Amino acid sequence: MGKVAVGAAVVCAAAVCAAAALVVRHRMKSSGKWSRAVAMLKEFEEKCGTPSSKLKQVADALTVEMHAGLASDGGSKLKMLISYVDNLPTGSCLERMIKVSREKNCDEKGMFYALDLGGTNFRVLRVHLGGKESRVVKQEFEEVSIPPQLMTGSSDELFDYIASALAKFVATESDSLHVSPGRQRELGFTFSFPIKQTSISSGTLMKWTKGFTVEDTVGEDVVAELTKAMERVGLDMRVAALVNDTVGTLAGGRYNNPDVVAAVILGTGTNAAYVERAHAIPKWHGLLPKSEEMVINMEWGNFQSSHFPLTEYDQELDAGTLNPGEQIFEKMISGMYLGEVVRRVLCKMAEEAAIFGDTVPPKLKTPFILRTPHMSAMHHDTSPDLKVVATNLKDILEISNTSLKLRKLIIELCDIVATRGARLSAAGIAGILKKLGRDTVKDGEKQRSVVALDGGLYEHYTKFRTCMENTLRELLGEEVFGNIAVEHSNDGSGIGAALLAASHSQYIEVEES
């Protein structure tokens, strides 16, 4: 072999060795980055841990805070608001949902409206009640989106928009579904924000949540604001009952099942309400209701405990919200925030472990771009190549060409976040049952307790729902759980508000005379 050929061979071999070294280094580098991503996921999972012992501490802490909130206003992070609802409909005024507080021989009959305002959409409903025998004969509803600018605008602008939509809906009444001649239309108003209730049909807004910042409504009576708006649009309608969505769900749930003792909303936001013994409410200074019971609106989204499995991602999320330091429980378990926690973890992995390449995808940096329905869709993906995960990454975050192992990692991340939220939700329910003394079986007594659940998160996120129910069984034990039921109260808050409007109708007295 000539010198030239030998030289060429040496150069060639050197080039091959160099290329091989580059490949090895690249693989080592990629392997190192992937190991970092896996380590980050493992660390996050450990910090999100919710063993039974920790959940029982959370449940106990909730019970303690419930007692404190009932003792005095400001005594707890839980507001434990008195709803002024001590009699709820069951189809007959002789058989109230809570023990009889007014002995009247009448059925809830007729047509009533409900307005359900609790997030970026609101619903208007028309419900035809047929009394004890026929129950809910017919219902119609319409959902309306609130333009983003109205969520941060003036009170008049927001309520005028709502009243106009309500007036348009009223105009669609059919001949077979309308109020009796000479009667004013009556409305149950479900208002799913913290209010200081002053009567069954009045309450002042304490603060906005869920992205609303209509400052001139704070401190005002929301029924008065709606009534003025209805007058401005020429709609003759009386607000007969003002309720929180959980109180409405409790009403709707107990209307169908007398064993319902509490209601929980798990949707964009979260809250709980339950029936309390009136003598167990030290801050109640009025006359004790004849029923000796009162529905309490917990506002449990603001619950806080040192036992919460908080992470750096939760703390960063909280710091960037409109209400830092508040609604911590809600930020860990509700639909508004679960997807955002997943996004923040993915963003940190993209920065520190380059899971999407050398640059962080620009869309991934956008807060709240990854919504919980997207997270749920990915979490439930069972296709062999995890096509749903790939499609969501591409359509929402503009991330293409992801590997199968990366998609699997993303599903694991969704599972960690959903599991933590579901198990904490179960701990909250266990805390309420403990406060009611329904977390034990006394002398073989079979005391059935039903919790009515509503909200898109509970209804549509199957893995979340299943995990929550299994965790409640784990916390209570088989014997106690045998007496507990969790039931979906579909559209409970809307129907419940209409039912409450019926049971507090101004025409009950007229019918009695």
Q: Which residues are catalytic?
A: 123, 192, 245
Radius of gyration of the chain (CA): 27
Tokens of 100: 């009889």
Quick one: how far is CA 440 from the chain centroid?
27
Q: To which H or E segment does residue 76 belong? A: none
Half-sphere exposure of 407 (CA within 13 A, CB side): 23
Give every strand in the sheet of 109-117, ordered side by side.
136-145, 121-130, 109-117, 185-191, 237-243
CA 448 to CA 353: how far, in whole Å? 51
CA 264 to CA 422: how far, in whole Å? 13
3-state secondary structure of 206: coil
Q: Contact at 8 Å (CB) between 137 and 154?
A: no
CA 67 to CA 75: how far, in whole Å? 9
Phi and psi at residue 129, in whole multiples of 5°?
-100, 135
Q: How deeply is 97 buried, as exposed, middle or buried, from its count of CB atoms within 10 A (0-12, 13-18, 19+)?
A: buried
CA 332 to CA 270: how far, in whole Å? 10
